[in-house]
Each structure stands twice: as C-alpha cells, then as structure tokens.
Structure 1
Amino acid sequence: MVGVMVGVMAGVIYGAMFVVVFGVAGTTAGGVMNDVMNDVMASVIGVLIGVLIGVAFGVTFGVTFGVIILRLDAILLAFISILLQPSKRRTITLQRVSPIPIWNLRRQLAQQLKEDWQKGLDNCEGLLRYSLQFAPVITAIRETLQNTTDDRLLSSVANWCSMPLYDWNVVYFQSAGLKATIKKSFLDGPVSHRSPPRSEAATLRYNTPVKAACAGFWLLHQGELAEAADGFAVVRHLPHGEELYANGRVLAAASQCQTLEQIAAWQMPPSPQDKLLRPQVRAAFARLAEVAKDIAVVLHARSTRQRSSALNRASGKLHFFSAESVDCPTPERPQLEKIASRWLEIILASASAVGSLDVRETVASPYIVGAPVPAARLIGRYDILAQIEAAWAKPGQRDSLVIFGHRRMGKTSIARNVAHLCQLGDDTRLAFLNLQAVDWTEGLRDLCHAIAFALWEADPNGLAEPAPEDYEQHPLAALRRLLARLEQAAPPRRYILILDEYELLEEKLPDAVAGDRTALLRGLTQQHTWLALGLVGLHSLKERSASLREAIFGWRPIPVGLMDRDALADLLQIEDDAFPLEYDLEAIDRAHALTGGQPFLGQLLGDSLVQRFNQQLKQRLEPPAPTFTTADVDAVVEDSRFYVNGHVYFNGIWAQAGEAPPGQQTLLKLLAPHGDGLDPAILCEQSGLDPAAFTDALDALARHDVVNCHNGRCRYSVEMMRRWVADYSTLSHSII
C-alpha cells in the first residue's frame, strides 16, 4: 500500500508536468475538430485530457519504479525495523526483495568476515541466495580481502572459491568494476538478477593481488585456463602463488592436447618445497601423469602387446578419473574432468592404430640358450623359488634341500639366482659352488678347500682368504676350524652353501673316503645351526648310493620339472621395449605342445624364431609380420638345424636313458613312431623286457620327465624328443 501511495504521488507530479504539453495539444486539436465550439470549452476539454493522460502515465511509472524495482515499501518498513532491531535480521527479511543496500549491512558483514572468514562467507552465501543484497556482499568481501595479510590472502581466496558458490559473479566483481556494471544494468532495464550481469563496461583488472587472485579463480571457473595462469602470475611472489601459477599452466597445457603425442609429452608441475595449498589437485595431476606415461609406452614400445596393455591401462584410469577425484576442489575439478574426458576421446579414437607395427630392422635375440639365465630373465619358476624361500627365509635353523631335475631344466639358473629372487634376510650370506669347477686332483682336499673358499667369497670381510696349503694334511679339520671361526664372527651371520652337480661327490670321491664324505655332510648341517646346505643335481635321493642317502636323510626334496603353458608363454613373450616381436595365442599353444614346457627347448625355439625373422627381413621386400604364428613355429621345428642346435639336450637325455636301469632306450625307440603313444601292455610286449625290468625302466623315464603315462597311454613328455629319436638319434653322431 505504501508503494502504491508513493506511486500515485509521483504520478500526480508527473501528470502536472504533462498538463501543459498535452493540454495545449488537446486545445489545438479541439479547435481544429469543432469550429462551432467556442474557445473556452475547447480549452477546458484539452486541459482535462492532458491531466488524465499525465496522471495515468505518472502513476504507472511511479508504481513500477517504486514498487516493482526499488520496492520503496519494503525499504520504508525495513527502515522502521532498523530502529527497533540493531541485528538487522528482521530488516534483511523485509528488505531482501529490494536491491537498495540495507543501511550498515556492509560494515556488519565486513566485521563478521574479519572475525571468522568461513562463517562470514556462509552468511554472505545466504544473502546471495535469498535476497538482492549483492552490493553489500561484494563490497564487504572486497574490503576484507584488501585488509588480509599477504601470507593468508591466497589461502583465503582459495577456500572461498572451493565452496559451492551460488553466484560466481561475486568473485568476478572482486576484480571487475561494480559501479559501472550497476549503472549500465539500470539503464538497460529492470533488475532481474541476484547480481548485475557482467558487461563490457567492467573488465577484469590485475593491478592488485586481490584482483589478480580473484581473476585467476574466476577464469579457472570459466575454463579460460591460459588466462587464469596469467592472473596467478601476478601473485607468484605470495605464499602458494607459484603453486597456483604452475597449476594454471599445466591445466592449460593439458586442455590443449589434441593428439597422443601431446598427451605423452604432458608433464605435471614440480612439487614445491612448501606445503601444498591444493594437494587434491596435485594428486589428480599425478593420475594424469600416469596416463601420459602409459601413452608414451603406446607410442614408443616396439611390442604390440605392450602397446595394447598400456592403452588399456590409460583408458581405464581416465574412465574412473572422475570417481577418484571427488575430493578435488572447485574450480579445478570440473576442468580436470573435462580434460580427462577429452583425453579419453583422443585415446579411444586412436585405438585402432595401436595394433599396427612394422619392424624393418634386425632384432637382437633376448633368449639365452645353454648358459645360466640371469635373474632378470628367469621366468616361469616362481613356484620353485617360493618353496626355496619358504625353507630358507624362516628364522632359526633352516632346512637343507635337494633340488633335482633332468638335464637342461634350469636348476643351475635357479640356484645361482636364489640370492637375487628370494628374500632371505640381511643376515644371510649365500655361497655357491659348482662341483664341476673343483680340481678333484687331490680329492677330498680340493673339495674342502673349494667349500672354504666359497664360504669366504660369500662374506670376504669376515675372514682371511683360505690358503690351499692349510688343507693339504687334514682337510676336514681345516674346514671345521673355518666353520668355528665363522660361528664366532660378529655380527653373527647365517650361511647357505649350494653345491651344484652334487652327484660328483660320489663320482669323484672313491669309496675309500665314503665315510669322510658322510662326515662332511653331517658336520655341515648338524653341528652348525646357522648353516644350511642345498644340493643341486639330476637325481633324487632314492637314486643315490646308500651312504649318501644316509648322510642327507630327511632333507627336503624340491623337483624342477617341465613348465606349464602360462610359464612357457612368459618365457617366450619378452616384456621389453627393445624386443618388438610377439606370439599369437595359437603359437604359444603350439610351442608348448612341441616343447612340453622344457625351458631349454623354449629358449632355443624363441631364438630360432628370431633368427628366422631376421633372415626373412633381409630376403623380402616387405617386412615379415612381427607376430609369430603356428606356421612360424612349425617351420622352425621341421628344420633339421633345430635338432643340431639342440643336440646338448637331446643327446643328454639319450645318454641318461642309457644308464641304469636298463631298457630305457629300448622303450624310447618303441614309442618314437607313435605320436599318440602306446598302451603300456603293448609297449611291454614289444620291448621284450620282463615285467619287473619294464616297470623299472618306465618309472625311471617318468621320474626324469621323459615319458608320462596317463589314461592308459604312454607317450613322450616332449614331442621334440620323440621326433629326435625317430629321425635323428641313429644319425646324431654323424650330424654332430
């Protein structure tokens, strides 16, 4: 009602102003239309029309401006409330519909912000959401920030911008001019916004730290990332300023990536020495950096398998990026999510080209044929290493082991790399002695000195180097004195002594010293709890002499047998950027069917495939496919040179089959023509052996992984061995 009264008053005043103009105009018009009417009547009618038009226009304009725009009625009631309630709570309730600033509200807000920044911001947010009192809010925040010390300025602005702001224009107007914007908005028409809209009349300014910081966060919110970095560049000298500047630049660089090459080249900013202002943003950068690293593998790896795996990792990380970044603050989080989404689109669009790869240079073979395999290339034997670690990593007295398996199974490679691949403890020293390297001229004396030297070599800082002459007269006594000194050494150590080719203990030491041999083994394992022994060889304990079995009775046996399909796949498929070749699944299956998982033959097969690839590369105009297939595997295995190169394995197995028990070679010859194997009864009948001899010979071949019998059929465990016996065994001496 008050607003209407004010509007009517303003209308009457405006109506009086229009009386003269419209009255005179009406008089003239009346005189023209009716010549008969006298001048006095025409003047009265003209004045009445002018008054009516003026009053109507004045009332309409006054009510609109006073009631709808300025809400003078609310201001009048609020002014009365100010006098009655200094807290202004009721005043704000009454005048929230008017943009006219409430008297003294700015000072009260500024005082709240000064006393408690976060609580004051919450009050400001409430005013922005439920009133048109934007001007006092903007001004109060600006005054508070201007009075904030440099060491707290950026953290205060950052905390504010991390809130779920109702109106980001309030941040904008900390840098841009508010008065010019308000003036232009009134000239353009009635106010319909919680805050005045941005206009060209007010531009961002960077002439103070407050304006520059707020401009930087506003531009981040708008997605103008390069410009945001320019804003933060002004405050680099302030605490956390360098961090915000670096974040802005890195965000801008990430948003500009359009290709895989640009993604791979993207780098996260260096970590500052001070505590991070936005640690969640830095964590999100780290996730993007992992994606960039994977894309670098996609671009530079020579293996299609590695490229595909890296591509899958990158796309997976980007797919879950938003879920893992929920704690990231605004305004960075929406921009990071847009970047992740864009990167994912680029990666998925390039996925079809990742599998294409040409190799036009000769490839160095990574396979090791014959020599012990280093730790980095010892693949597929994790189960055996786990058994060894379980026996030797426990506290207290350790178990002694017998590691056995037939020829070329990788026993020596496993034994040599125990120290590298098993966690045995910092107090453990591992001594390795290949008995083939022992002189054996003096028998037991050479053996005892070699053992002493291996123990000294494992920890040369503990004792003086053993002298050969000390072991000439009484080698066992000299060795016992060495063990006693090791036991008294400080700090205390635990030793593991591995003897490779342990069968030489029987072969090289005559039966006359069998008792000394037994005493040696017992002394090493029973008198010294800090010492464990590992014997590595071809045979299990059941196949050794009674004296040796008695000495090491109760030692834990660990067989080293054929590899399963997955282990052979790991052996063949080298995970190395320098190796660009790979195998399809059918080729892996074929390789396992032919080699039976024999590691030496697996290495030989892989090496032969690489050599064949290099030969084709030189002979053909177009490079061969970098993925090996079953046809490639069959072509290598059907070449007689493969069996010549593998003669060490084939002849070794054949020679071992010629040992006791007799009849093993006979069975191998009978089985060779039958790829699907033979019934055991038929094999026994054809062998001409009596049942007991047949069983002993077949059991020996089975223990050595040469033959296996399942489901009523006896067949070769290694198909390549069957082919060698069938085609090359009688010619082996002439071929080699």
Structure 2
Amino acid sequence: GVPGRGAVGVAGRVAVGVAVGVAVGVAVSMAVGVLSSVEGDVAFGVVFGVAVGVGALRAVFYPFQLGSALRSAFRGGGHPLEWDELVVLPLPGTRRTLTQRLQQDEPDGLRFVADAARNPFQRWAAQAALQSYLHEHASPLQFIYALLANFDLDTYVFAPVTRQDWERLPSTRQLFLGELDRQWVDCSSDWTNRLAERLVWGLTWFLRDRRKTPLTRFASMLYKLLDEQAIAADEFDLSAYTEIYTGLVDYPSGVEITRSFETMAVFLSYGDLSTLPAAVNVTSGLAQDDAPIRPTVLTALDRLGQVGAEVATYRDATSRVNQLAALAHATDALDELDECVVAEVMAPEQYILRRVSRQWRRLVSEAGGEVGRAEEAGPVANPYVVGNPVTGDLFVGREDILHRLEELWSGTGPKPSVVLYGHRRMGKSSILHNLGARFGARTVIVDFNMQRVGLVASTGELLYNLALALYDAQTLGVSKTPRVLEEPDETRFIAHNPYTALDRFLKRLDQVRADRRFIVTVDEFELIEEWITKGRLEPELLGFWRSRFQKYPWFIMAFAGLHKLEEMRSAYWNPFFGSVTAIRVSFLSHGAARLLITQPSPDFSIDYDEDAVERIIELTNGQPYLVQLMGHGLVTRFNRQTFEEGVERERRFSLADVEAVITAPVFYRDGDAYFTGVWGQAETSDPPGQTAVLRTLARSETGMPDEEIARQAGLAPEEVGRALETLARHDVVMEEDNRWQFTVELMRRWVAQRQ
C-alpha cells in the first residue's frame, strides 16, 4: 500500500461501524432533519437531521469542527477534513475545499480527495468535488484518463485485512469512476459491512452531484470495463456501449476516443479470418491529433491493421509456402503486440486489445493448421540429408558453434585459428561448408579438404596445393583485383624450399587481397598425422603454419577432425597448443534436435506428434547424423505408403511411424557408416578392451557400474577404467548415477545385434 493510507482505511472501517450502530435511529433522525432543513451548502440541513443520530458518538467535537469549517469558509485556513479522518457529520465548505485542492495541484488534489473518499460519510463530498472539477476542466477526457494513469489510485479503498478483502475490495480508481455516475460501489467484503456501506451511501445520496452527462456515462462505462473477467467473457459486446462513446465527439479529444472504441468494437466482431484484411481500411481513419490522449492505443490499433495486411497477403498468395510465411508473420506480429500492450497500454483498453489479439491469433492459428494439412500433388521432397555435408536452408541446429566462431572472428586485430573436434558424423564438415554464408563478402572461405587433396608425396606438394586453393579463391567476390597475382609456380615448391615458397606467395597475396581475410578449412585433419607417420609430410609443417598465423593475421585456418589436440600422440603437435582454439562439436541440444526434426527445411509440410519427436531425441541423444537418418526414413516411408501403396494416412508422423522405421532392417544398413565407424575406432585405437566394454554394456538398457562391467567382460578394473575414459571422451558412453551406459540408444541396439 501507500504510506499513510492505513489510518485512513481504519477510519473508513470505524465510520462503517458507526453506521451499523445507529441504523435503528436513522429513520427517526431523517424525518426530523427534513422538517428542520435550512438553506446552506448542498442541502446541509437535510443531511444534518439525518446525521444527528450518527454524529452523537462524536458530538463533543462537532462544535469545534463546525467553527473551524466556518472560519475556513470566510477567513481561510485549514478545514477539519484536513486533520480529522473520522469526520462523520457533514460540514460546510467540504466540497469547496476538495475542489480547490484539485484546482491548485491536480495530482496532490487527487490524493487528498482519495483520502476523503475512504471515509464513507465524506464520500459524497469527494464525488461532488470530482463532478465539479470534471465539468469545469478544459479537457475533461484528459482528466478521466489521468485518473486511469494515476498509480496512487491503484491502492485499495480500505487497507485489506482478510483474504476476502484482497479479492473483493475495489481500488480508489474504480470508486472514483463509479461515483462520478452516482453508482454505489461495493467497498465491503462481508454482508455486515455491505449493509452499513449501503446505508451510509443512501443517507448521503442527496448531497451528491446528481448530473447525468456524456462524461459521467463514459466514466461509468470505464468503471464496468475495468473488470477484466467481464471483458474475457464470451458474451462481452463492446458495441453495447456505442451510444456512450459516440456521445463524446463534441469534447476535446472526443473524436480520438470515439473512433478508437469504434475500431476496437469492429475488431472484436471479426469472427472469421476472411474479415481481418478489412482492418487496414478501418485503421486508416485513425488520424492522430498532435497530442493524442492515448498514443499507445492508437499505435496498437495501427499494428492490428498491419496484421490485417499480412492476412490479406495470405489470402492472395497461391504458393503454400508464401501462405505459411504470411501467417507466420501475422502470428509473430500478434505475439509482439500482446507483449507491447501489456507493457505500455493502460486498462481497460489493455484488456480489450488483448482480447482482440488472442481472438485473431486463434483465427490465424486455425488457418495455419489447415494450410499445413493441405495435401500436395506429389511425393514430399526429402529434406533430411544423410552422409553428405548439409548446406543452405537445410543446415539446422548448430547456432551455438557458429555464434562461438563469430565471437572469435569478429572485430579487428589478429584472430585465432580453430580446431573443431568431435566424434564421427557430428556435423563438423557441415559447419565448415556453411561458414561462407555466415561471415560476409570480406571473408574468403578456402576449402582445403584433405581427402580431395589426394595422396601427396611431400610437404612441398601439400603447400603447393594450398597455394593453388588460395589463388583460386582470391578472385571470388572482387570485380577488379588491384594488382595481378601470379599463379603459384610448382617448381618453387617442389625443387626448392616449400616453406619459403608459400611465405613469398602469402606476401604477394597480402598486397592484392583488398582488405579481405582468408579462412582455410581443413577437414579430416587427422590425416596430417597419418602422412607424417608415413614420411610423406615433415613434422615441421605444423610449426610453420603456426608462425604464418602470427605473421599474417588475415590468414586463418579452421581444422575439423576426430581428435582433440591433446589426443595427438606426437610431440610435433605441441606448437599448435598456443595458437589454435579447440571447439568441441558434440550432440545437438534438445532444442536444436527438435528444430532439426520438425523444421528440416522452410517448406517442410509434415507434422510430428509430440511423443514421436521425443522418441527420436531419446533414441539418438541428438546425434545429428542419426536424426537425419531417422527423418529421411520417415519421409521415404510416407511417400512409399501414400504414392506407391495407396495408403490413406494423415500428414503427420506418430510414435508408431518412428518404431516402424527403426525396426526395419534397412535402417541399420543405411546407418552403417556411423555404426561401423564408431565400432572401428574403438576396435583399432588404444587402450585395448574398448569393444569388450561395449559388448558388455549392450546387454543392459539401464547401464552398469564399472565393477559389473569388469566382472562380465573379464577385464581388470584398471583396463575397464581406461577404456571407459576413452569411450566417454569420444562421446560413445557416459556415466550417470554411477552407472555407465551408451550415449546413443541406437548404437547400443546395433552392438547388441552383432552378438
């Protein structure tokens, strides 16, 4: 609550208690008061008689209060209302004092009026002062919206005590809006307080300002619309208030208020998607004044008009892809609008606009579902790529790695070379193939795949091939090279010092590169170690590359392979430790795997059941090759059933479809490259015992502790420990709750089938 409001809330409750205590004597007091009424400030005599019984409890103070009130009226000074929160009897000048405070300082005056309104016996004066100030205001609608925007008026009328109080007591703002139209606002939480409140309101009814104007009716409308549940109800109809908000056009800013409510009423009437495009024309008449009262409301309505334009695009599109794109834009726009309305628009317009956005979003979603279910004339193009690097729109799910590379290679200054390492079929080659689309025209990607270079006979041949790749790439994206770069001379690399030859070539390239950087991608870099071992390459090659990174900051190499540098056994890899950044490429995250499964391409038209998606992730653990393999199998099976076997089926993959794909013999045959690759590495690499461990683990779906593995495999605990450490480093097994298990359930099943 607001500081200082607690005492006023207590005062209000005391006043209500007083009303209950004198209820029996009210009827008699009223009769006497009417007979003895005198002319004065707002039927003072009438209420004086009515309040005789009420004021008896504080009769000793009344002469002093009356004197102070009269002195305030004729000589100035403070009115008793300013220092006595429990004033029961009506005093002359009360309304005038409240009105003057509003005129002097509106925000401070509203706080003073709010304090007075918390006392049920003085609420009449607060109502009369608000009425007077509203109708004398140069811009009365602006004042009404000031009431809606004033955060001080968010406080409860009385300080809540019980749970019922928190749920039922109105805010001061609601009280003001209701009282402006002479409505009784229920400020109680039980029947005794309600009876007392009603009694006091009836006793002071004759003292209220009883004018009925378009402004008071509009205040009453806002009071009702502040009930969010009422606006959310199915039977809510904003057009029922048409007579009220159209009656404001003659007031300053009245046209703005009228047209905005008319527009919201029209938008709420749209119950079919085909009506939404008309929103563009409706909002075209919402010309803003130089200083609109509610600019955020007008902005929100204009954005709804833009949503209507997106729906018009969907209506006019003949391409299914364009239809889905337009509906996606409309959905995004509605979601963003809803967030904006919550943050920037005040109630009650906030509640109305949110109902509009929710209503429209449902219509757009239904249309999207219908388009998504629309059958195509031919087989579905299979977007899942198995075996080859994935490029373009089909490359999905590696944003984390690409963001990391952007961090390393952004800005100016030297940039580190990198090693992408990870197990087989994790998508390392696909990442390298998609670097060009990520880094723009000032970055030249040079593809230097070790497999395509072939069986080179020497370091000179390898560096010559690298120079050729740089030479071929340096003209890409440049319409005119400032200076001509000569093609590398093979003789200088073979017959002379190859390191000097490449260095001189890089120096010439530096002069013509036009401020571009060159990123050389080297896939399957572990072949370098193999060729060094066989004597084809010199160990000094790695140290030479390291020195070139440092000399030419624009010359960057991106390696990809199975091993991390720490696993390379020979000492000649040591120079690389301080010059490259290692980035691990492992399983896709749950979210990335889900994206790859459900949206492998922008125009993919088959849906998935939720349990089917989760089953694929469970079986693959986000291994990208296997996710692609399962998706490819699902689409192939769908096309065969639908277009070859004539099976009528829904365009949706279920859990049964997933099980059918992985139990078909062709699945493990098609995935042989992955399964045999993992098995082969475990079979041929150190330490020994890896395949024995895998065979043992394959017997259990829930895994085993290491001592159980050692017992069943017949290996020493030390052997099992070394094997598990290597297999875990290669993403083949993992430990969870002291039990070892396969990281990929499909790999476990493949091993189990081999036994």
Q: Could you say which TM-score interval applies, normalised by the shorter chain?
A: 0.5 to 0.7
Equivalent residue number for residue 538 of structure 2: 514
Shift of the 427–215 alpha-carbon distance from structure 1 to 2, 3 Å rule, reads: farther
Equivalent residue number for residue 427 of structure 2: 410
Question: In the aligned structure 2, how far is the partner of 1:357 from the partner of 1:133?
Answer: 58
Question: In the aligned structure 2, how far is the partner of 1:684 from the partner of 1:480?
Answer: 56
Alpha-carbon shift at residue 244 of structure 1 (Å): 3.1
Q: Report the AA paired with residue 445 of structure 1.
A: Y
Structure 1 residue 626 corresponds to structure 2 residue 652: yes
CA contact (8 A) 1:98 1:132 kept: no
Shift of the 153–671 alpha-carbon distance from structure 1 to 2, 3 Å rule, reads: closer
CA contact (8 A) 1:169 1:195 kept: no
Alpha-carbon shift at residue 502 of structure 1 (Å): 2.6
Matches within 5 A, 1:634-645: 634-645=659-670
Equivalent residue number for residue 248 of structure 1: 261
Question: In the aligned structure 2, how far is the partner of 1:723 from the partner of 1:434?
Answer: 33
Q: Report the AA paired with residue 407 of structure 1.
A: R
Structure 1 residue 361 corresponds to structure 2 residue 378: no
1:66-100 Cα shifts (integer Å, max 9, x gaps): 5799567999x99xx7999376999999xx9799x
Equivalent residue number for residue 277 of structure 1: 293
Question: In the aligned structure 1, how far is the partner of 2:455 from the partner of 2:423?
Answer: 24
Structure 1 residue 371 corresponds to structure 2 residue 371: no
CA contact (8 A) 1:433 1:451 kept: no
Q: Report the AA paired with residue 262 of structure 2.
A: R
CA contact (8 A) 1:228 1:248 kept: no
Q: Which moved more, 1:411-420 or 1:507-516?
A: 507-516
| Number of equivalent positions | 601
Shift of the 370–289 alpha-carbon distance from structure 1 to 2, 3 Å rule, reads: farther
Q: Report the AA paired with residue 248 of structure 1.
A: F
Q: Report the AA paired with residue 447 of structure 1.
A: L
Which secondary structure does the structure 2 equivalent of 1:193 belong to?
A: helix
1:299-323 Cα shifts (integer Å, max 9, x gaps): x9999xx99xx99x98xx89x99xx
Shift of the 449–624 alpha-carbon distance from structure 1 to 2, 3 Å rule, reads: same
CA contact (8 A) 1:664 1:701 kept: no
CA contact (8 A) 2:471 2:487 kept: no
Structure 1 residue 450 corresponds to structure 2 residue 466: no
1:400-441 Cα shifts (integer Å, max 9, x gaps): 3322334322111223445767xx999977655434455888
1:152-211 Cα shifts (integer Å, max 9, x gaps): 7864664477674876699779xxxxxxxxxxxxxxxx994344656xxx775xxxxxxx
Alpha-carbon shift at residue 614 of structure 1 (Å): 4.3
Question: In the aligned structure 2, how far is the partner of 1:553 from the partner of 1:62?
Answer: 101
Q: Report the AA paired with residue 498 of structure 1.
A: T
Which secondary structure does the structure 2 equivalent of 1:497 belong to?
A: strand
Shift of the 140–429 alpha-carbon distance from structure 1 to 2, 3 Å rule, reads: same
CA contact (8 A) 2:588 2:624 kept: yes
Q: Report the AA paired with residue 559 of structure 2.
A: L
Shift of the 233–562 alpha-carbon distance from structure 1 to 2, 3 Å rule, reads: same
Alpha-carbon shift at residue 695 of structure 1 (Å): 11
Q: Which moved more, 1:593-602 or 1:402-411?
A: 593-602
Equivalent residue number for residue 581 of structure 1: 607
Structure 1 residue 480 corresponds to structure 2 residue 503: yes
Question: In the aligned structure 2, how far is the partner of 1:154 from the partner of 1:98?
Answer: 30
1:347-377 Cα shifts (integer Å, max 9, x gaps): 99xx99x999995636554433233334766
CA contact (8 A) 2:619 2:745 kept: yes
CA contact (8 A) 1:680 1:713 kept: no
Structure 1 residue 434 corresponds to structure 2 residue 449: yes
Which secondary structure does the structure 2 equivalent of 1:533 belong to?
A: strand
Shift of the 513–340 alpha-carbon distance from structure 1 to 2, 3 Å rule, reads: closer
Structure 1 residue 400 corresponds to structure 2 residue 394: no
Equivalent residue number for residue 520 of structure 2: 497
Q: Report the AA paired with residue 649 of structure 2.
A: P
Question: In the aligned structure 1, how far is the partner of 2:148 from the partner of 2:591?
Answer: 54
Question: In the aligned structure 1, how far is the partner of 2:126 from the partner of 2:687?
Answer: 106
Equivalent residue number for residue 604 of structure 1: 629
TM-score in terms of structure 1 length: 0.57
Which secondary structure does the structure 2 equivalent of 1:535 belong to?
A: strand
Matches within 5 A, 1:463-478: 466-469=485-488, 473-474=492-493, 477=500
Shift of the 258–648 alpha-carbon distance from structure 1 to 2, 3 Å rule, reads: same
Alpha-carbon shift at residue 603 of structure 1 (Å): 0.8
Equivalent residue number for residue 10 of structure 1: none
Q: Report the AA paired with residue 536 of structure 1.
A: A
CA contact (8 A) 1:67 1:73 kept: no
Shift of the 425–615 alpha-carbon distance from structure 1 to 2, 3 Å rule, reads: closer
Alpha-carbon shift at residue 604 of structure 1 (Å): 0.8
Shift of the 273–444 alpha-carbon distance from structure 1 to 2, 3 Å rule, reads: farther
Question: In the aligned structure 1, how far is the partner of 2:732 from the partner of 2:133?
Answer: 90
Equivalent residue number for residue 230 of structure 1: 246
Shift of the 260–217 alpha-carbon distance from structure 1 to 2, 3 Å rule, reads: farther
1:51-74 Cα shifts (integer Å, max 9, x gaps): xxxxxxxx9999467579956799
Question: In the aligned structure 2, how far is the partner of 1:659 from the partner of 1:617?
Answer: 44
Which secondary structure does the structure 1 equivalent of 2:560 belong to?
A: strand
Q: Which moved more, 1:467-476 or 1:483-492?
A: 483-492
Question: In the aligned structure 2, how far is the partner of 1:70 from the partner of 1:596?
Answer: 82
Question: In the aligned structure 2, how far is the partner of 1:595 from the partner of 1:472?
Answer: 51
Shift of the 638–134 alpha-carbon distance from structure 1 to 2, 3 Å rule, reads: closer
Q: Report the AA paired with residue 293 of structure 2.
A: L
Q: Report the AA paired with residue 410 of structure 1.
A: G
Question: In the aligned structure 2, how far is the partner of 1:273 from the partner of 1:578?
Answer: 47
Alpha-carbon shift at residue 396 of structure 1 (Å): 5.4
Question: In the aligned structure 2, how far is the partner of 1:343 from the partner of 1:626?
Answer: 29
Structure 1 residue 85 corresponds to structure 2 residue 102: no
CA contact (8 A) 1:411 1:560 kept: yes
Which secondary structure does the structure 1 equivalent of 2:538 belong to?
A: helix
Structure 1 residue 528 corresponds to structure 2 residue 552: yes
Question: In the aligned structure 2, how far is the partner of 1:386 from the partner of 1:400?
Answer: 15
1:686-707 Cα shifts (integer Å, max 9, x gaps): xxxx999999999887765567
Shift of the 246–662 alpha-carbon distance from structure 1 to 2, 3 Å rule, reads: same
Task: Report which of the two structures shows the higher radius of gyration computed on alpha carbons.
Answer: 1
Question: In the aligned structure 2, how far is the partner of 1:291 from the partner of 1:71?
Answer: 58
Q: Pairwise CA RMSD of aligned residues?
A: 7.0
1:308-340 Cα shifts (integer Å, max 9, x gaps): xx99x98xx89x99xx67x965xxx24644776
Which secondary structure does the structure 2 equivalent of 1:468 belong to?
A: coil
Equivalent residue number for residue 193 of structure 2: none
Question: In the aligned structure 2, how far is the partner of 1:131 from the partner of 1:694?
Answer: 88
Which secondary structure does the structure 1 equivalent of 2:206 belong to?
A: coil
TM-score in terms of structure 2 length: 0.56
Question: In the aligned structure 1, how far is the partner of 2:536 from the partner of 2:562?
Answer: 24
